[in-house]
Amino acid sequence: MSAPHDQMMRFRLTDQYQQLKSALHRHLISLIEDRNLEIDLWEPLRVERFVSEQVKLYVMQQRLPVNQRETEALATDARDELMGYGPIQGLVDDDSVNDIVVNGPNKVFIERAGKLSVAPVRFVNDAHVLRVIQRILAPIGRRVDESTPMVDARLADGSRVNAIVPPIALDGPCLSIRKFRRQPLTGADLVKSDTLSQAELDYLHERVRKRANLIIVGGTGSGKTTFLNLLSRWIPVTERVITVEDAAELRLEHDHVVRLETRPPNLEGQRAVTARDLVRNALRMRPDRIIVGEVRGDEVMDMLQAMNTGHDGSMTTLHANAPKEAVHRLELLAGFAGYAGSEANFRAQVASAVNLFVHVSRLVTGARKVMSITEVYSDGTEALLLRDLFRYDIDTEQHLDLRAAT
Ligand SMILES: Nc1ncnc2c1ncn2[C@@H]1O[C@H](COP(=O)(O)OP(=O)(O)OP(=O)(O)O)[C@@H](O)[C@H]1O
Ligand SMILES: [Mg+2]
């Protein structure tokens, strides 16, 4: 970053600048109201010109001690404030940023190339954060307030947004945006960034085409959905695929794809459509394969059943930090779903339903790795056994191919 750029960034964070910005914002709003301007119907360029002119005028009239660069910054921010996502508009536009997290007016973080850092922007106060949240949600017909303090949604551009506000969020409104990647990561990208080896990629490709049932396991933000997307795109286009997601993120280019999305309950707590409803319905739609974005509730039994009853090649993700843990998590979810059989029976069911676990992880360095590709099987005595076919060795930073060893 150049020195003037740094200075500019620091200036933007000062209270003086924030006060100036809100005064300017109020000025513009009253101007727009006085003149009855319908600027939300204007072309972006026209808005930009209008704001830029008005800001220059305002700076002159008020004899503000700001230079030309600062005036330009004010104009950009004023425009974003009127039209866009306010202080985070620049981050939304920056393709190198993949996640934006707002934990309050002065705590904005971004993730870039796997690294989380403080973003050089801030909001005026809680009300400001809330206003921007509402503006993001309005076009998709959603809003947050005391009675609906949590929203998880997908924007028109495919980005995923989560907002949570008081009284549930104790320290003020919070916003998380996981940006939609215009170009999904390809297998070649992931090999290049050493997320996995070429041998692993080839192996997974082969197994997906041959209709292995697989579960991608990993922690929050480890790359599960990214991986599921990659694997699903290898499904031959002649096959009929049904996807079930809470907020549709997968992007398949199949003719025979039917995308289903769950629906949260309405204000009376009714009319929810759950993942379980959708998986059951999907089974009646003659799918070749079913892809469930994430198994996290009582749909687990239906999904395992689907995998066990001729829908080979089905895939999902699961929140767990290792394949072994994934088995426990499946047991736990099955318990919640009312499964009353024995543990051995359940494990046998998992072993016959699932062929592979793919464990993905985000290392402390920020790098994403396929930690293991693990086969799930049964030898007749043990109901369920796990065997790593590939494993990432953190010490040597090598993706080991263990197939010959087993
Ligand atoms: N191998 C990778 N290389 C670079 N960036 C990646 C990789 N995998 C994922 N990402 C990026 O990391 C972010 C999180 O990825 P993703 O949504 O796939 O994670 P997740 O495990 O599904 O998260 P969650 O637990 O929130 O559902 C995304 O912005 C994605 O673009
Ligand atoms: Mg995900």
The ligand minimizing its distance to the Cα of 245 is 2
Residues near ion ligand 2 (CB < 5 Å) are: 224-225
Q: Measured between alpha carbons, how far is 300 from 116 in angstroms, rounded to an integer?
A: 33
Closest residue by Cα to atom 25, ligand 1, is: 220
Mapped onto helix, strand or coil, the DSSP state of residue 388 is strand
The ligand minimizing its distance to the Cα of 217 is 1
Pairing of strands 385-393, 398-401: antiparallel
The ligand minimizing its distance to the Cα of 358 is 1
Closest atom of ligand 1 to CA, residue 98: 29
pLDDT in tens, the chain (406 residues): 456 667 777 777 788 888 888 888 888 888 888 888 877 678 888 988 999 999 999 999 989 888 888 899 889 888 888 778 888 998 998 989 999 999 998 899 999 888 889 998 888 788 889 989 998 998 888 889 988 999 988 888 889 999 999 999 998 999 999 998 878 899 999 999 999 999 999 999 999 999 999 999 999 999 999 999 999 999 999 999 999 998 888 888 888 899 999 988 877 878 899 999 999 999 999 999 999 999 999 999 999 999 998 889 999 999 999 999 999 999 999 999 999 999 999 999 999 999 999 999 999 988 999 999 999 999 989 999 999 999 999 999 999 999 988 6
Query: Both tokens of residue 397?
Result: 């930073």
92, 157, 161, 225, best to mutate for ligand 1 pocket (most atoms within 8 Å of CB): 225
98, 180, 226, best to mutate for ligand 1 pocket (most atoms within 8 Å of CB): 226
Query: Both tokens of residue 200?
Result: 């692993």
- Centroid of ligand 1 to alpha carbon of 172 (angstroms): 26
With 0.85 as the threshold, say if the pTM is over it: no
Question: Helix count (H) and strand count (E) of the chain?
Answer: 13, 15
For the chain, domains (ranges, CATH) are 1-82 (no CATH), 84-180 (3.30.450.370), 187-401 (3.40.50.300)
Closest atom of ligand 1 to CA, residue 195: 1
Query: Both tokens of residue 105?
Result: 């007016």
Closest atom of ligand 1 to CA, residue 99: 29
Q: How far is CA 183 from CA 42, 89, 180, in A?
A: 30, 20, 9
Beta strand ranges found along 207-341 (DSSP E): 214-218, 241-245, 257-261, 289-292, 315-319
CA-based radius of gyration for the chain: 25
Q: How far is CA 97 from CA 7, 67, 243, 384, 395, in A?
A: 22, 29, 27, 41, 29
| Local structure of residue 238 (DSSP, 8 states) | T
Closest residue by Cα to atom 10, ligand 1, is: 223
What was the pLDDT predicted at 1? 44
What was the pLDDT predicted at 182? 78
Closest residue by Cα to atom 15, ligand 1, is: 223
Closest residue by Cα to atom 16, ligand 1, is: 223
Closest atom of ligand 1 to CA, residue 221: 23
- Centroid of ligand 1 to alpha carbon of 125 (angstroms): 30
Which residues have C-beta within 8 Å of that of residue 37, sequence separation ≥ 6?
31, 50
What was the pLDDT predicted at 2? 53
- Centroid of ligand 2 to alpha carbon of 244 (angstroms): 13
The ligand minimizing its distance to the Cα of 152 is 1
Q: Measured between alpha carbons, how far is 266 from 397 in angstroms, rounded to an integer?
A: 49
What was the pLDDT predicted at 119? 92
Q: Measured between alpha carbons, how far is 393 from 406 in angstroms, rounded to an integer?
A: 17
Q: Measured between alpha carbons, how far is 228 from 132 in angstroms, rounded to an integer?
A: 31
Closest atom of ligand 1 to CA, residue 181: 31
- Centroid of ligand 2 to alpha carbon of 17 (angstroms): 37
For the chain, helix, strand, coil in percent to 5 are 40, 20, 40
The ligand minimizing its distance to the Cα of 292 is 2
Pocket of ligand 1, beta carbon within 6 A: 98-99, 178, 181, 185, 190, 193, 195, 218, 220-226, 368
177: which strand partners? Answer: 100, 161
